[in-house]
Copies of this chain bind each other. A is one copy, B any other.
Amino acid sequence: MICVLAGGVGAARLLNGLKDVAPPEEITAIVNTGDDAIMHGLYICPDIDTVTYTLAGVNNIETGWGLKGETWQAMESLKKLGGKTWFNLGDRDLATHMYRTDRLSEGAGLKEITAEITSAMGVSVNLLPMTEDQVETKVTLLESNDEISFQEYFVKHRHDISVSAVRFNGSAEAKAAPGVIDAISEAEVVIIAPSNPIVSIAPIFSVSEISDAIKARKKDVVAVSPIIAGAALKGPADRLLNELGHEASVKGVAKYYQEWISTLVIDTADFNTAKDIESLGIDCLVTETVMTDSQIAASLGSTLLGLKK
């Protein structure tokens, strides 16, 4: 069994690579739900959906979110009504949120609902929400000191605004979703996907049960750095690390994950920093990590699985 801590796009690509080199049924992804949002009454799980759509092969590669070949009738009509359209929802994507909202109102849990959606879309990788409780990633803006939701930060402000703090509202009371702790305990290797440490992986760690379970597996935990040559491939990981007092470098990532990991995988572009990582007591593996195609993703997956003793 392989366990992967996952955010959105980066994790989805890695999971796609892993499922090409290992039976998908043996892969469990524990997915961030701190980004979840209720929009127009619909319950939306952006990271779970990105991973699901990518593994189903129906993701929109150009946008990095949503479905390929999507239509936008609902959004265009909503715009005419003067509704909120900063969070774009395609017509077919809407069905996912409608299904989830309906099942939640019937009392089903997010784990069960996610399994129903992945099954209907032909995804065999096991996706678990990190929690079925409400944990909300909240972002404090530097200038105004306003605290806003993650989606407001990420989508409405296009993460083009300075941040002074990030917290995970509700995490103190949150329990891991059913199956999460077992997936961590029983895995041969626990992989932290190249997702944003601060807003994709830290929300998962904010659930203390999960953090403790990962720490207990530290010698089998390997992270893939989302920072390459000081920059994030996508999104605000570098900027957020900097703004919150970390180093936007593989070393910064190593320090950030130090409590939980024994190995950090870094890109060949950072080969000369391997010693810095090792000086922290963390093994360092240098390989190609930019998953521009499925072969590179599979190769990275293969390398990660090769780390199992």
Contact = CB atoms under 8 A, between A and B. Distances in A.
A232 interface: no
A41 B105 contact: yes
Interface string A59-99: 00000000000010111111011111000001110111111
A101 interface: yes
A98 B82 contact: no
Contacts of A94: 74, 77, 91, 94
A309 interface: no
Main secondary structure of the interface of A (DSSP, over half): helix
A71 B91 contact: yes
Contacts of A120: 80-82
A101 B71 contact: no
Nearest to A70: B73
Contacts of A121: 81
Interface in A154-189: none
A168 B101 CA distance: 26
A292 to B, nearest CB: 29
Nearest to A40: B98
A25 interface: no
Contact of A81 (B83, B105, B116): B116
A46 B65 CA distance: 32
Nearest to A92: B77
B116 A82 contact: yes
A70 to B, nearest CB: 8
A213 interface: no
Given A42-B41, A43-B41, A102-B41, A95 B71 contact: no
Interface string A99-126: 1011001000000000011001100000
B75 A73 contact: no
A306 B95 CA distance: 49
A90 to B, nearest CB: 8
A103 to B, nearest CB: 8
Interface in A14-52: 38-43
Given A76-B92, A81-B95, 7 more contacts: A40-B99, A40-B102, A41-B43, A71-B91, A77-B94, A77-B96, A81-B116
